[in-house]
Amino acid sequence: MRVSVVVPNYNKERTLRDCLSAVYAQTAPPAEVIVVDDASTDRSRRIAAEFPCTVLAFPVNRGVSAARNAGAARATGDVLFFVDSDIALAPGALAAAVRTLDAYPDCGVVQGIYDLRPLYDDGPVEAYKTLFEHFWRRRATGVTATTMFALTAVPKAVFELVGGFDERLRDAEDVEFGTRLPQRYEIRVSDEMVGRHDDVDRLRPYLSELFRRAVTYAGAVVAARWDRPAAGPGGGAGGEGRTPHRVDLGSVLGMVSSGLTVGTAPLILLSPWLAALPVALVAAFVVSDRELLAFALRHRGPRFLLFAAGLRWLTHLTEFVGMGLGVSAALLRRVRARGSRPVTVESRR
C-alpha cells in the first residue's frame, strides 16, 4: 500500500520539525508527505520547507477539517495517514497501520495511541492530560466505536465514501466523521501506532478547549441520535451512516455527579446532615474514575493522584456544563425549525 501522510498545521513552529523528522524516520517510509498550513503566522512554512514535502498554504484560516480535506484531495496514496503537527510518531507507526489494514480487510479506520510521555514535559497539567489520553486510548485497543484523528490511517476510498470532514466544525470533527462511517467498516485502535504529543499545559486553555469540544460534540454527535439516517457533507455514505456510538456510562456518571455536587453543596447551609448528599456524589465521581485514578497512582505517585483527581473533577464539571448548553442549543434549533415549517391547509371540496 502506498501511504500518503497528511499533516494539518496552524502555528506549530515549536513541534513541526519534530513531527516531520519523525515521519521521515519511519521504518516504512511514506510515498508522500503533505503539510497543509492553515494560514500560520509563525515560522511554520519555513520549517516545512526544510523537508521534501508538499506544502499547501491557505491564505486564511479555515480550520483543521478543511486542512485535512485539502491534504486528502491532493494525496495520491492508497492510504491516508493523518498526524497532527504537535505529534512525533514512533518509528514503526506507519508500518503498524499498514499491517492492521492488511490483517483486517473490514477495517475502515485504524488509530494510534499517545505515548505516556509528552513530547515536551511542560508541567502537571500536561502530565495529567497525557496520562489520561494514553490511558483511555490504550484501554480502547482493538475494535472501538469512536474515531479520533490525531494519528490515524484511513484507506482513501473509505475517506472519499464518507465524504471527508465537515468543514463547519472546528472541534469534535473527528468524532463526527465516525458517525458517517458505514456500519460494515470496523474502527480499530492499535497500540503499535504510538506518538509523543505536545499537549496543552495550562489550566485555562485546557478547560476552554474541553468546553468548546463538549458544546460542539453535543450538537454534532449527541443530537445526531435524534435524526436518522445521519447525513454528512457531500451526502456522506449515501444514507448508510453508522449508528451513533454507545454512551460511556462511566463518563456520564462522572459528569453528572460533578455537576450535581456543585448544585447540592449549598444544602449544607440548611442542615449539616444534608452534607451527605454532595459527599455521596463525590464518592460516585471517584467510583466512575477509579481505574484512571489507580493508573495515575501507579505511574505518578500519591501527590500526583490528588492533583489528577482534582483536575479530573474539573474536567467532568466543564464537560457537564458544555454538554448541557450544547444539547439545549440543539433542542432550541429543532423547536425553531419545526415552528418555521409552512402549515399546509387542505381545501374542502
Give me the pLDDT at residue 273, please: 82
Buried b (16+ CB within 10 A) or exposed e, 48-61: beebebbbbebeee
For the chain, list residues with pLDDT below 70: 220-248, 340-349
pTM of the model: 0.84
| Per-residue pLDDT tens over the stretch 294-328 | 999 999 999 999 999 999 999 999 999 998 888 88
pLDDT in tens, 26-47: 999 999 999 999 999 999 999 9
Please tell me the predicted confidence (pLDDT) of residue 225: 60
Sequence ranges of the domains in the chain: 3-199, 249-339
pLDDT at residue 79, as a whole number = 98
3-199: CATH architecture: Alpha-Beta Complex (3.90)
Rounded to 5°, angle at Cα 157 from 151 and 160:
80
Output the pLDDT for position 271.
84
Amino acid 98: pLDDT: 97
Neighbours of 91 (CB within 10 A): 12
- Report the DSSP pairing between strands 142-144 and 79-83: unpaired
What type of residue sits at position 22?
A: A
Write down the pLDDT at residue 231.
42
Q: Taking Cα atoms as reference points, which of 305, 292, 125, 97 lies closest to residue 198?
A: 125
